[in-house]
């Protein structure tokens, strides 16, 4: 990021990793970066593959609001909602897509914010799949295992569990 000749931010799986969101792999194979689209409107129609000064980076151009970016562990990063969306579109598993969006909701994003980002970032693709994953996403899913368990309950015809439901005994909250 420091080697780039223009402002860039951790994006996609790189941003998810910095935000401690669940990923179906330990470390992404390459760095994913986002940059603001300039006057070149072609960049809005397809991801940019510029290598910048990094040997193995994927750069996506789009409507990033620099004032909305955050600093995580000293690295400029897109906010959790955009990190989850930009990661979800790279995943082939609907469960992992849902887990990404659950993670964004757990970190304070709203479904409305994510829908707005899906509209803004149409060029990322997989819009239908991500909207379906968002329909299954829930605010209370704290971990990927909670997401996967909840989805299996639903697939098995069982009632959807209540997430983060408090249980008490004679001594109080368990």
Task: Note if the pTM is more than 0.85.
Answer: no
pLDDT at 18: 93
Per-residue pLDDT tens over the stretch 20-75:
998 987 677 788 999 887 645 444 344 545 545 555 788 888 888 888 899 999 89
With 60 as the cut, is the pLDDT of residue 3 above it? yes
pLDDT at 55: 58
pLDDT at 128: 93
Per-residue pLDDT tens over the stretch 94-147:
999 999 999 999 999 999 999 999 999 988 889 999 999 999 999 999 999 999
Average pLDDT, the chain: 87
Report the 3 state secondary structure along 61-95.
EECCCHHHCEEECCEEECCHHHHHHHHHCCCCCHH
pLDDT at 41: 41
């Amino acid at each position: 990021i420091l080697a780039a000749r223009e402002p860039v931010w951790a994006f996609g799986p790189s941003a998810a990793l910095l935000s401690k969101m669940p990923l179906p792999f330990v470390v992404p194979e390459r760095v994913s970066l986002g940059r603001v689209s300039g006057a070149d409107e072609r960049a809005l129609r397809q991801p940019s593959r510029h290598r910048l000064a990094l040997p193995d980076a994927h750069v996506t151009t789009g409507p990033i609001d620099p004032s909305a970016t955050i600093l995580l562990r000293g690295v400029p990063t897109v906010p959790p909602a955009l990190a989850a969306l930009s990661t979800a579109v790279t995943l082939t598993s609907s469960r992992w897509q849902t887990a990404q969006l659950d993670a964004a909701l757990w970190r304070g994003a709203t479904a409305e914010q994510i829908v707005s980002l899906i509209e803004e970032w149409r060029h990322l693709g997989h819009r239908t799949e991500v909207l379906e994953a968002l329909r299954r996403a829930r605010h209370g899913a704290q971990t990927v295992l909670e997401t996967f368990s909840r989805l299996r309950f639903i697939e098995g015809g069982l009632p959807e569990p209540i997430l983060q439901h408090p249980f008490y005994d004679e001594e109080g909250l368990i």
